[in-house]
Structure 1
């Protein structure tokens, strides 16, 4: 398991002191170039609606918060910040990207996409895999890219099948349930599980166990809100559609 000393090699740099946090922006030229090129390419080639363009730009803003803002550096020190970072990716940026991009994943792949995303979510939040991932740049990006890509695939398949609301609602509920189970295991663990943060939380007024409990709560509540909102929205549309069908049948 990675120790705090390994975090000097982490992508976002060594753990910052609280007083350094506001100036700890990640100005990696490669990252900024990729984000800028992706935005320019999308705006140039996209045939999407104004709403889709807004969704793409909003997703890019969320990714900037996750990877460029001081949240990137804070996630080296605090596991709770890492979970907030991951929830921004999979529960906010991913559905926005799935809506903005062409539907490349057919709806029939919804179950496979949901399972793939679930496996990766559990894998990268297992202590050994997480410890390995944050040790270096390549392993860090392997974790981040696979989490984001699997989430985009899940949301893309879900949006492609919005006419089949019951299936999508069930997939969203099951995704929330497994995420809640993972969050519960993290929250109620009796000891700190994530070695990289054992010596990096005290400066922020948290013990490693308190930081871990906060991380679990962030995944459990705020992390589930976008999925819950999607369930409510789809259920409302589905019920309204049923009412319209019944009204048309009655008139016929």
Structure 2
């Protein structure tokens, strides 16, 4: 296979605003992988929800938009690690408690490593690196959520969910307050969307604070509710 096939942006070149809604990603290998995942997760609501989120992130025009805007790529990553991954964990729960703290550290290292400028630009310009990014983000986050959402973890799960959000918010803060744009691949394309590259990066950093925080808050509320019901059951 020609190296030129690999040395490109997986989601295609940065789209013009007028053509965005025509840019669906129907890569046969991706469609096959999503089909296998659908069979693996079964017919649960959580599994269906996880599949829908992955379609939104990887098949919908959001994939193409993330080639233009860093902010769109942040939405993509938040969908993977804070929405799709915990839904997969609910649909495919761990049978035994796992060490949640190492899973948190691993997922944190993966997230931060892929946001280093050199690694990020490589992932968006070389297809194997792109899929290494997507798979490692989703797998490490799924392992974390499978550990955290295990019923026997108890209240400690809330601290771990808070820690997962704090590390993402810290990364967002660094990106928001960086004095210059960090990613070469987003130096030009944001202009077509009315944003300077630095504004695009700042918007991405802010998205790591508020929308991501809402997702982590929702999962924290679920864990707290489950713990409260367990306490009521023991009291009864």
Residue in 2 that maps onto 1:107: 97
Say which SS state the counterpart of residue 98 (structure 2) adopts: helix
Of 224-233 and 59-68, the range deviating more from structure 2: 224-233
Alignment match of 1:151 (pick from 141, 145, 148): 141
How far apart, in 1, do the equivalents of 2:181 and 2:214 lie? Answer: 26
How far apart, in 2, do the equivalents of 1:35 and 1:242 lie? Answer: 38
Tell me which structure has the larger Cα radius of gyration. 1
Written as runs of structure 1 = structure 2, the 5 A alignment for 1:141-220 is: 141-160=131-150, 162-220=151-209
Residue in 2 that maps onto 1:4: none
Cα deviation code 1:164-220 (max 9, x no counterpart)? 322111111111111111110011111111111001100001000110011011111
Q: CA deviation at 1:228?
A: 1.2
Question: In 2, are the aligned partners of 1:8 and 1:14 still within 8 Å (CA)?
Answer: no
- Quick check: 1:131 aligned with 2:130? no
Residue in 1 that maps onto 2:88: 97
Question: In 2, are the aligned partners of 1:8 and 1:15 still within 8 Å (CA)?
Answer: no
Can you give the 5+ residue segments of structure 1 that lack an aligned partner in the other structure? 1-6, 44-49
Q: CA deviation at 1:223?
A: 1.1
Residue in 2 that maps onto 1:47: none
Aligned CA RMSD, in angstroms, stands at: 1.8
How far apart, in 1, do the equivalents of 2:89 and 2:231 lie? Answer: 26
Cα deviation code 1:59-116 (max 9, x no counterpart)? 1111011011000000000000000001011111000101111416x42321111110
Q: Indicate how the Cα distance of structure 1 residues 56 and 239 shifts in structure 2: closer, same or farther if over 3 A, else same.
A: closer
Runs (4+) of structure 1 moved beyond 6 Å? none
Aligned length, in residue pairs: 231
Cα deviation code 1:18-67 (max 9, x no counterpart)? 11101011111111122123323544xxxxxx6xx111111111101101
How far apart, in 2, do the equivalents of 1:229 and 1:41 lie? Answer: 25
Question: In 2, are the aligned partners of 1:94 and 1:151 still within 8 Å (CA)?
Answer: yes
Q: CA deviation at 1:239?
A: 4.0
Say which SS state the counterpart of residue 181 (structure 2) adopts: coil
Q: CA deviation at 1:236?
A: 3.6
Residue in 1 that maps onto 2:21: 22
Q: Which has the higher contact order (CA 8 A, sep 6+)?
A: 1
How far apart, in 2, do the equivalents of 1:84 and 1:168 lie? Answer: 24
Question: In 1, are the aligned partners of 2:41 and 2:91 still within 8 Å (CA)?
Answer: no
Q: CA deviation at 1:8?
A: 7.7
